[in-house]
Chains A and B, each alone.
Chain A
């Protein structure tokens, strides 16, 4: 049984160590001149030492258990209070503040959808769903970013050929946006097919070898949309429809960094 003796935090060096001192020690709130006393107490009292080891472990598991909640997409109902100031932004300007872009994106995207997996929803218009589109983009991302020897069909050294070829197959003029300002250089691209027909993937890589992909396919039905966000495990994607093409920017990056890149892509395509 532990019964404190009333000395408390204000006690000076050499005073008996109290339960409060031990907790303050664990929480980094113990005055410097009491640390030796507490550590000596713990060395002399293995039961207390064990107990405070458990408390420390508790705190670690607390963070680990609930930490995943930070990454959950925020439901749009929760962002509605912010709507009057930000919801009008459908075509983000290049220099828009990061938070505003993230908000504009998230406002139109998030719907609580359950524990994990796809949360994309509400692609306006019928026909090919956005969930299918972004799922295709993410699947293609997962397949090719790990490829060492053949990540692309046509390399960045033949960029003009690559862009001309993909434009012809997709029936739309394409461009390979410059992302050097974000630290990513074009690796190259490839032609793919999905349920809707031809699609193209452009791959970029940074100096550390991290790869992001742009997935694009013609989008004949439906009007332009703002950014939307989807997440599958560690892979996140921003996607939108613009000028007859559906785009997805996919990467294993935090959402803010990825939204900056998506903004850059969008800006490059509309400059």
Chain B
């Protein structure tokens, strides 16, 4: 039997550190504010560092980190519901609007507010596929749901967001396949 792979490509702390800005972006968009996002990312990073030898394939680091973050978020949601504390998304909307080009400010502010009104499930599926560039299969792995669920959830999330942004009547997506 060959000796255990000393994994020259094993994930090092630097590779995880390099993902921190991306994780923060995802977490802030998901939870709607930076302080909670940073708490979540910090927990995620600590867990990832502690378990980094479990990841054999360094090329899957991004998805693996998002999985950890997702699981922490879901368990944290239960905790936060009990606590009942919510930081309004308004601050993030204003903050991001200020970072945008002047011509885009109104659009960005409206978008972030509308996005904040979506459910957590809808936010995460839109972010994973639309911002993180995950395939349906990769998103399904991160969320631990079947690919079909990813697709139907994505369809509903897009339509819900469209109505929030554009107004009008929601096109009912009952079954998507």
Binding site for B on A (CB under 8 A): 1-4, 6-9, 18-20, 23-24, 27, 29, 51, 54-55, 58-59, 61-72, 74-75, 77-82, 85-86, 97, 99-100, 103, 112, 115-116
* Interface contact B108-A86, CB-CB below 8 Å: no
* Interface contact A65-B112, CB-CB below 8 Å: yes
- Interface of chain B: mostly helix, strand, loop or mixed: helix
Bound complex: CA A77 to CA B43 (Å):
11
Contact check: which of B98, B111, B136, B171 meets A51 at CB < 8 Å?
A: B171
* Interface contact B174-A77, CB-CB below 8 Å: no
**How many B residues are at the interface, by size bracket?**
35 or more
Residues from chain A with Cβ under 8 Å of B129 in the complex: 27
Beyond A54-B166, A58-B162, A62-B111, 18 additional contacts (C-beta under 8 Å) are A1-B171, A1-B172, A2-B174, A3-B174, A9-B177, A19-B155, A20-B152, A20-B176, A51-B162, A54-B162, A55-B162, A66-B112, A69-B24, A75-B38, A80-B42, A81-B46, A82-B16, A112-B38
Q: Is B119 an interface residue (CB 8 A)?
A: no
Binding site for A on B (CB under 8 A): 13-18, 20-22, 24-25, 28-29, 34, 38, 41-42, 45-46, 49, 94-96, 98-100, 104, 107-108, 111-112, 115, 126-127, 129-131, 135-136, 151-152, 154-155, 158-159, 161-162, 165-166, 171-177
Bound complex: CA A67 to CA B49 (Å):
26
Residues from chain B with Cβ under 8 Å of A69 in the complex: 21, 24-25, 28-29, 34, 96
